[in-house]
Amino acid sequence: MGLNITTNEIDGISVLALNGRIVLGEESNWFRERVKGVLGDGKKKIILNMANVEYVDSAGLGILVAAHVSANKQGAALRLCNLGKKFHDVMQLTRLLTVFSVYETQAEAISSFGTGSMAAV
């Protein structure tokens, strides 16, 4: 299975729901291009909902870090939510939890931007 990305906008926040695998190859290129497109559209608040991510390899982690750095350079904020236990453990082991703002739910990630909305969870 590849990687599918669904984009929604909630209270001015771009929510990218990822479904599949973030691995070296087409998947990581597709992911990179989607994030670049969102940033190119001038979006400054981005959430990556990882609830349906089945697997992330080292290239996928690199793409996540690159997306975070790219967002920061453009004055945007990127948050992660719904990591799942395995992915959370990998992020903890690699110390990437100290790099990203990570939330248990999409609603918590949305509210972290101070919008006050808990809609469309």
Q: Is residue 34 part of a domain?
A: yes
| Tens-place pLDDT, residues 25-57 | 988 888 999 999 999 999 999 999 999 999 999
In a domain, 120, yes or no: no
Q: What is the CATH number of the domain that holds 68?
A: 3.30.750.24
Its domain, for residue 21, covers 3-111
- In a domain, residue 116? The reply is no
Q: Write down the pTM of the prediction.
A: 0.91
Neighbours of 29 (CB within 10 A): 12
Give the model's confidence band at 1: pLDDT under 50 very low, under 70 low, under 90 confident, else very high.
low
d(CA 4, CA 23): 12
Is residue 18 domain-resident? Answer: yes
Q: Is residue 27 part of a domain?
A: yes
Count of domains forming the chain: 1
